[in-house]
Chains A and B, each alone.
Chain A
Amino acid sequence: DVKVTQSSRYLVKRTGEKVFLECVQDMDHENMFWYRQDPGLGLRLIYFSYDVKMKEKGDIPEGYSVSREKKERFSLILESASTNQTSMYLCASSLPTGLNNEQYFGPGTRLTVT
């Protein structure tokens, strides 16, 4: 069974803080993704990575950066947290999509920025 874990289920941070959200998968997947989910807006892709040290911007990368130093770990960084980054953050992993493989999701981190 694929397992994707996220470092925190709930997180409260102050405006201006640097925030790290960690994601680890245990199935040797090449692809990893960070989404945010907001009511009425659905899931929006922030960044994804298709290999170690490789990353591409998603649809809403502004205010975020990522790091993938090891295949199993993909970190999302909020350089200076703002209240509009309060959201549910979901990490996912998959084998390459060219093979029609599904994504596996972590449990999510609900981040509140005050």
Chain B
Amino acid sequence: AQSVTQLDSHVSVSEGTPVLLRCNYSSSYSPSLFWYVQHPNKGLQLLLKYTSAATLVKGINGFEAEFKKSETSFHLTKPSAHMSDAAEYFCVVPKGGTYKYIFGTGTRLKVLA
């Protein structure tokens, strides 16, 4: 059965420093994986998605993620944090054979001035 685990519920970084948000997945096959961002009192916005075309995926706002099958990971990174990156981030995998999606518990990113 598919699942995703976001390893950190909160991450704090200083503005201008790198961001790393961690996501591990469990799946019996190579899944699709998504990262979404949610700013306060807003809906979720797709940052990027992996669909097996390339293991390094570039998304919006300078974010990227690397699919590592050997580590069952799909960590989200950004070289330099900006104040506007402060938000909650969700790692998501479709639940195979159903219409459903499995959401991680979210990582709240705080960016310090």
Residues of chain A whose beta carbon lies under 8 Å from any beta carbon of chain B: 4, 31, 42-43, 45, 48, 50, 56, 58, 88, 90, 92, 96-97, 100, 102-108, 110
Query: Residues of B within 8 Å of A, CB-based: how many?
Result: 23
**A108 lies within 8 A of B100 (CB):** no
User: CB within 8 Å of A: which of B24-77?
Assistant: 32, 34, 36, 41-46, 49, 51
**A100 lies within 8 A of B105 (CB):** no
**B41 lies within 8 A of A108 (CB):** yes
* With A42-B105, A102-B34, A102-B49 as contacts: A96 and B99 at CB distance below 8 Å: yes
**B51 lies within 8 A of A100 (CB):** yes
**B94 lies within 8 A of A43 (CB):** no
**B32 lies within 8 A of A100 (CB):** yes
- Contact code string B94-113 (vs A, CB < 8 Å = 1, else 0): 11001111011110000000
Of B36, B42, B44, B100, the most chain A CB neighbours within 10 A belong to B44
Q: Which residues of A contact B51 (CB under 8 A)?
A: 100
A108 to B104, CA, bound (A): 19
**B105 lies within 8 A of A105 (CB):** no
Given contacts A31-B99, A43-B103, A50-B99, 18 further A-B contacts (CB under 8 A): A42-B103, A48-B100, A56-B99, A58-B100, A90-B43, A92-B44, A97-B98, A97-B99, A97-B101, A100-B51, A102-B34, A103-B44, A103-B46, A103-B92, A103-B101, A108-B41, A108-B43, A110-B41
**B43 lies within 8 A of A97 (CB):** no
**Closest 6 pairs between A and B when the two form their complex, measured CB to CB:** A100-B32, A105-B43, A105-B44, A97-B94, A107-B43, A43-B103
Q: Which residues of B contact A107 (CB under 8 A)?
A: 42-43
Q: Which residues of A contact B32 (CB under 8 A)?
A: 100
A106 to B45, CA, bound (A): 9
B71, chain A: closest CB distance, angstroms: 21
A4 to B104, CA, bound (A): 22
Residue of A nearest to B94 (CB): A97
B10, chain A: closest CB distance, angstroms: 13
Residue of B nearest to A88 (CB): B41
